[in-house]
Chains A and B, each alone.
Chain A
Amino acid sequence: MRTSPGERLLDLAVSGVLWGFRILLVAAILIGTIATIRAGKYTSEQWIDFVVFGISQGSIYALIALGYTMVYGILRMINFAHGDIFMTGAFAAYFLATWMNGTGFIDSYPILGLLIPILFAMIVAGGIAMLVERIAYRPLRGAPRLVPLISAIGASFFLEYAFRGFFGPGVYAYPPIKALEGEWDILGIGILKVQVVVAVAAFIMMAILYSIVMFTKVGKAMRAVSESKDTAALMGIDVNRIIVSTFALGAAMAGAAGVLYSLIFRQVGFFMGFTPGIKAFTAAVLGGIGNIPGAMVGGLVLGIFESVGPSLFLEGLGITRPYQLKDAIAYTMLVMILLFRPSGILGERITTKKA
């Protein structure tokens, strides 16, 4: 399309600037890393702590990211309200867990006291997601691509402020589970119990989801619908039902993630879905959106990067209080991936049809 030498020169200049930017970024990370390691401020045990924290947080991102990626895979839309569905799950679990804590149930049966709120959160989140799909997305399915996105933003806004309206702007403390306090000694390294439990729970959930998608009839139908809605309908698949179940499944994962998140951070509030939502989206894009293993890998990579990054390369670059820049790392990463490799780590090249 471009032919004139002036425009070709401009193209060259743009790609030159972009390449310069990449090289600069990699150089900054390398220099920072080397400087930090030479300074030797952190012991190897602290590094392991960072990584473990990164894994447990990353597995939560991965759980949320699955919902983004599955819905994208089927409808080619970003469910912007997903972060808020995560929040509804956390709220549901909070109320149940507080009540259970009041009766002393959690202390006597810690495992059930963990599992029942998770299950409840999954059901509530799944139900709300189904409602959102029915009200805000389904009537707009034939509309131009931008329209469902805006509608999703509206849904996100509605959920956030409806919850604020009902439960106030304050932050609630998730009841403590005594069995999860303290550390476990694994190979001579003390690791917080909560983090292990969260990571393990998240991995189990991911395994369940993966087997549902790969080995059940519903999962097969989901994959068929994401290939082509029309062909799937011709094969006798009820497309609407599959879309709803995709929403519900993704939302159930987000609801469970909401409980795990509140186990680590112990705070439940109406705005809690925003940041994890964006970060999980970053994770989904990082792994290649529409790609289920990609979302898991992306979540873990983002979590570890975010947890290790500030002290690894930001501090080496002479930035004081690098932990404040934690969120900035995720956002910078997001923009960089979108610019340089929008298909993500495991994704295929995105064609204009999908973008």
Chain B
Amino acid sequence: MISGIFHTTYEKDMALRRTHAQKIRIVIVIVFLLVFPFLANRYALTLANQVGIAVIGAIGLNILVGYTGQISLGQGGFMAVGAYTAGILTARFGMPWWASTIVACFTTALIGTIFGIPSLRLKGLYLAIATLAAQVIILWVVTHWSALTGGVDALVVPDPKLFGIKINTDFNFYWVTWGLVGIVTIAAVNLFRTHFGRAFIAIRDQDIAASVMGVDLFKYKLLAFAVSSFLVGLAGALTAHYRNIVTWERFTVDVSVLYLAMIIIGGLGSVTGSYLGATFMTLLPVLLTNLGRAVKTSFPLIDSILPFVQQAMFGLVIILFLIFEPEGLNKIWKNIKDYFRLWPFSY
């Protein structure tokens, strides 16, 4: 009778995929992702792309908030840095989209690190406010520096091209997004098998203890900001190339809250959680809209209020998850797995 998963060698304990079932699940997910675009309609592909971009952003934020314990409300601002860097370089200077994306990632990492400097002195609430200030300052610069960003007007970005093929359909872009999601996932999972990742986790759990153990807080906190912003910048740059248009409205505080909601609902400190949260939060509005349509005939009032209440739902969902399942969807997923592994003899 198996009562749990116990590893008897270090190799097994350190392995990326620890169990047989995990391997099977990963294969199923990959096969699904490969087959999906051929079966789905355009609308589903659009959603899939949005989910993919959200997953990258959520993993980025989760590295900072979930793994390193440094709260950030600057997500929207950092995404704006990524999107505008990529957009400006491609639209104004004719840089190929992949090159501008790479530059955007590094630029965002740099800016994120700069705004991460206060984290050396500030914790928790104060850091949240300082990163919120970063968000406000970045957005203010974006809307007022018209010469560079186009101010409040939208910045139009040409279609990306790869090997001479225009990536202007959802079907083509799907491969770019999800290819990058794959790379980011492998990188993120591996990050927490290295000493960098373990240092991040040590800082989250007890920063003073970590510092006593020889973790240089200065270095690793900034590194966490850099790595996290790098991925967030990637998500921003992808948004720019995917939408062909960059406007400041896409990067407001709401976005910061939305991403925070994603990782809380998905599960802090978990890559799987980032997937679940990003998917859930991107599809929630769609579900709500469909729900509204379904009940339109019987309850016309709900249909008229629903579009506005959608965003309010985000707030409510955050609170409810914090109260009833603080570890997020990831925990629910674990419970389901445990239930079936131990079935029929739970306990």
The reply to whether B308 and A164 form a contact with Cβ atoms under 8 Å apart is yes
Decide yes or no whether A184 CB sits under 8 A from chain B: no
How far is B309's CA from A14's CA once the two chains are assembled, in angstroms? 47
Decide yes or no whether A355 CB sits under 8 A from chain B: yes
How far is B218's CA from A157's CA once the two chains are assembled, in angstroms? 33
Q: Which of B36-44, B131-139, B331-339 contacts A (4 or more CB under 8 A)?
A: B131-139
Decide yes or no whether B305 CB sits under 8 A from chain A: yes
Mark B35-59 against chain A: 1 for CB-CB distance below 8 A, else 0: 0000000000000000000000000
The reply to whether B318 and A151 form a contact with Cβ atoms under 8 Å apart is yes
Decide yes or no whether A162 CB sits under 8 A from chain B: yes
Residues in B with CB closer than 8 Å to A140 are 322-323
Within 8 A of A (CB), among B128-177: 128-130, 132-133, 136-137, 140, 144
Chain A residue at smallest Cβ distance from B73: A153
The reply to whether B309 and A165 form a contact with Cβ atoms under 8 Å apart is yes
Residues in A with CB closer than 8 Å to B312 are 157-162, 164-165
Give the shortest distance, in Å, between A48 (CB) and chain B (any CB).
Answer: 29
Decide yes or no whether B299 CB sits under 8 A from chain A: no
The reply to whether B309 and A161 form a contact with Cβ atoms under 8 Å apart is yes
Decide yes or no whether A23 CB sits under 8 A from chain B: no
The reply to whether A338 and B118 form a contact with Cβ atoms under 8 Å apart is yes
Interface centre among A140, A143, A153, A281, by most chain B C-beta atoms within 10 angstroms, is A153
Q: Which of B120, B123, B140, B208 contacts A328 (CB 8 A)?
A: B140
Q: Which of B126, B128, B254 contacts A355 (CB 8 A)?
A: B126
How far is B137's CA from A328's CA once the two chains are assembled, in angstroms? 7
The reply to whether A331 and B125 form a contact with Cβ atoms under 8 Å apart is no
Mark B261-272 against chain A: 1 for CB-CB distance below 8 A, else 0: 100100000000
Residues in B with CB closer than 8 Å to A145 are 124-125
- Check A154/B71 contact, CB under 8 A, given A165-B312, A278-B132, A339-B121: no
Within 8 A of B (CB), among A270-301: 274, 278, 281, 285
How far is B128's CA from A355's CA once the two chains are assembled, in angstroms? 12
Chain A residue at smallest Cβ distance from B141: A328
How far is B124's CA from A135's CA once the two chains are assembled, in angstroms? 22
If over half of B's interface residues share one DSSP class (helix, strand or loop), that class is named, otherwise mixed; here it is: helix
Residues in B with CB closer than 8 Å to A160 are 311-312, 315
Give the shortest distance, in Å, between A15 (CB) and chain B (any CB).
Answer: 11
Residues in A with CB closer than 8 Å to B130 are 334-335, 338
Give the shortest distance, in Å, between A74 (CB) and chain B (any CB).
Answer: 14
If over half of A's interface residues share one DSSP class (helix, strand or loop), that class is named, otherwise mixed; here it is: helix
Mark A320-355 against chain B: 1 for CB-CB distance below 8 A, else 0: 000010011001001100110010000000001001
Q: Which of B69, B211, B257, B305 contacts A157 (CB 8 A)?
A: B257
Give the shortest distance, in Å, between B29 (CB) and chain A (any CB).
Answer: 29
Decide yes or no whether A186 CB sits under 8 A from chain B: no
Residues in A with CB closer than 8 Å to B73 are 153
How far is B309's CA from A161's CA once the two chains are assembled, in angstroms? 6
Decide yes or no whether B220 CB sits under 8 A from chain A: no
- Check A324/B133 contact, CB under 8 A, given A154-B318, A161-B311, A335-B118: no
Q: Which of A77, A159, A278, A328 contacts B315 (CB 8 A)?
A: A159
How far is B253's CA from A331's CA once the two chains are assembled, in angstroms? 15
The reply to whether A342 and B126 form a contact with Cβ atoms under 8 Å apart is yes
The reply to whether A355 and B123 form a contact with Cβ atoms under 8 Å apart is yes
How far is B257's CA from A335's CA once the two chains are assembled, in angstroms? 20
The reply to whether B136 and A1 form a contact with Cβ atoms under 8 Å apart is no
Q: Contact size class for A?
A: 35 or more
Decide yes or no whether B260 CB sits under 8 A from chain A: yes
Q: Which of A77, A165, A281, A335 contacts B305 (CB 8 A)?
A: A165
Q: Which of B137, B218, B315, B323 contacts A161 (CB 8 A)?
A: B315
Mark A107-143 against chain B: 1 for CB-CB distance below 8 A, else 0: 0000000000000000000000000000110011001
Residues in A with CB closer than 8 Å to B323 are 139-140, 151
Residues in B with CB closer than 8 Å to A168 are 308
Interface centre among A14, A156, A164, A338, by most chain B C-beta atoms within 10 angstroms, is A338
Decide yes or no whether B319 CB sits under 8 A from chain A: yes
Decide yes or no whether A10 CB sits under 8 A from chain B: yes
How far is B316's CA from A193's CA once the two chains are assembled, in angstroms? 42
Decide yes or no whether B326 CB sits under 8 A from chain A: yes
Decide yes or no whether A312 CB sits under 8 A from chain B: no
- Check A334/B125 contact, CB under 8 A, given A151-B322, A162-B309: no
Q: Which of A154, A331, A355 contacts B137 (CB 8 A)?
A: A331
Decide yes or no whether A147 CB sits under 8 A from chain B: yes
The reply to whether A155 and B319 form a contact with Cβ atoms under 8 Å apart is yes
Q: Which of B122, B128, B311, B319 contacts A135 (CB 8 A)?
A: B319
The reply to whether A149 and B125 form a contact with Cβ atoms under 8 Å apart is yes
The reply to whether A158 and B316 form a contact with Cβ atoms under 8 Å apart is yes
How far is B211's CA from A335's CA once the two chains are assembled, in angstroms? 25
Give the shortest distance, in Å, between A354 (CB) and chain B (any CB).
Answer: 10
How far is B208's CA from A278's CA once the two chains are assembled, in angstroms? 30
Residues in A with CB closer than 8 Å to B133 are 331, 334-335
Q: Which of A143, A165, A331 contacts B136 (CB 8 A)?
A: A331
The reply to whether A150 and B322 form a contact with Cβ atoms under 8 Å apart is yes
How far is B126's CA from A155's CA once the two chains are assembled, in angstroms? 19
The reply to whether A147 and B319 form a contact with Cβ atoms under 8 Å apart is no
Decide yes or no whether A90 CB sits under 8 A from chain B: no
Give the shortest distance, in Å, between B249 (CB) and chain A (any CB).
Answer: 13
Decide yes or no whether B314 CB sits under 8 A from chain A: yes
How far is B321's CA from A264's CA once the two chains are assembled, in angstroms? 39
Residues in A with CB closer than 8 Å to B261 are 154
The reply to whether B211 and A165 form a contact with Cβ atoms under 8 Å apart is no
Decide yes or no whether A26 CB sits under 8 A from chain B: no
On B, residues with C-beta under 8 Å from A are: 69, 71, 73, 118, 120-126, 128-130, 132-133, 136-137, 140, 144, 208, 211-212, 216, 218, 253-254, 257, 260-261, 264, 305, 308-312, 314-319, 322-323, 326
Contacts A/B (CB < 8 Å), 5 sampled: A145-B124, A150-B260, A154-B314, A155-B315, A324-B144
Question: Can you add 11 more A-B contacts, CB < 8 Å, to A146-B124, A154-B317, A328-B140?
Answer: A77-B125, A150-B260, A155-B319, A157-B254, A160-B311, A161-B310, A166-B308, A281-B129, A285-B129, A331-B136, A338-B129
Which 10 residue pairs spanning A and B have beta carbons closest together?
A158-B315, A165-B308, A154-B318, A157-B315, A161-B312, A161-B311, A162-B312, A154-B315, A165-B309, A154-B319
